[in-house]
Amino acid sequence: MGRSTNLAVLQVQQGLAEARLALARARADRLVAAARLRRLTGDLLAHHGLTVE
């Protein structure tokens, strides 16, 4: 009881790695979407403290 095969451990580790990668991709996608929204609304430069003269 409480024992697992090496294969089962590797499968769980692979699932964890895939989940972490998916999370990183989702975070990156969110940042890209936020930047696009700021650009489309004209707020991108102001968000970064920049102005155009």
Per-residue pLDDT of the chain (53 residues; tens, 9 = 90+): 678 899 999 999 999 999 999 999 999 999 999 999 999 998 988 888 888 88
Provide the domain count of the chain.
Answer: 1
Contact between 15 and 22 (Cβ < 8 Å): no
Instruction: Determine the straight-line distance between the first and last CA of the chain, rounded to whole angstroms.
Output: 71
Q: Write down the residue that tokens 């998916």 correspond to.
A: 22
Q: For residues 24 and 19, what is the distance between their CA atoms, to the nearest angstrom?
A: 9
Task: For tokens 């003269």, name the residue.
Answer: 53
The answer to whether residue 38 sits within a structural domain is yes
What pTM was computed for the model?
0.72
In a domain, 52, yes or no: no
Domain that holds residue 14: 6-47
